[in-house]
Amino acid sequence: MNLNAPLDQALSAVEQQLDAVDGAFFAADTGALEREGAALRQASAAFAHTLQRQTASAAALSPVLQRRVRSVAQRLSGQREALARAAVAAERQAACLVPELADAPTYGAAVGRSAGGGAARLYNKAAR
């Protein structure tokens, strides 16, 4: 009996989910990315649990499994970096579309300003 079979199956599930996350990311499908990301977290947790049980029973990882685990770690790191870059790009795009009003409060009067100051000035002038 192959002691690494449960680990192989759990690791295969993680690899399949990595592929699914890659596909959703490149397709720019945010709904699928969210679903596949959650499934990847579940598969990763199941793999970690299986690994913990297997190592507790003194079953060592084969060299092939060790290489696959390193590959998964590299892919996860790459996905994390790609998501971070995409988030920064999205923030920059949003900032271009909706510039911030740094010194204008949205609600309430600003401290030390008159009641007619701030972002509401535009609406006050239009009403006159």
Residue 109: inside a domain, yes or no? no
Per-residue pLDDT tens listing for the chain (128 residues): 466 788 899 999 999 999 999 999 999 898 999 999 999 999 999 999 998 887 755 457 788 888 999 999 999 999 999 989 988 888 888 888 877 655 555 566 555 555 555 555 555 555 55
Residue 125: inside a domain, yes or no? no
Q: pLDDT at position 104, please? A: 56
* Angle (nearest 5°) at CA 38 between 50 and 89: 130
Q: Is 28 exposed, middle or buried (0-12, 13-18, 19+ CB in 10 A)?
A: exposed
Output DSSP code: residue 108. Answer: S
Residue 123: inside a domain, yes or no? no
52 token code pair: 């913990």
Q: pLDDT at position 124, please? A: 52
Residue 76: inside a domain, yes or no? yes
Residue 124: inside a domain, yes or no? no
Structural domain boundaries enclosing 61: 5-97
Residue 25: inside a domain, yes or no? yes
CA 42 to chain centre: 14
3 token code pair: 């002691």
CB 86 within 8 A of CB 27: no
Residue 31: inside a domain, yes or no? yes
Residue 63: inside a domain, yes or no? yes
Tally of domains within the chain: 1
Integer Cα distance of 43 and 49 in angstroms: 10
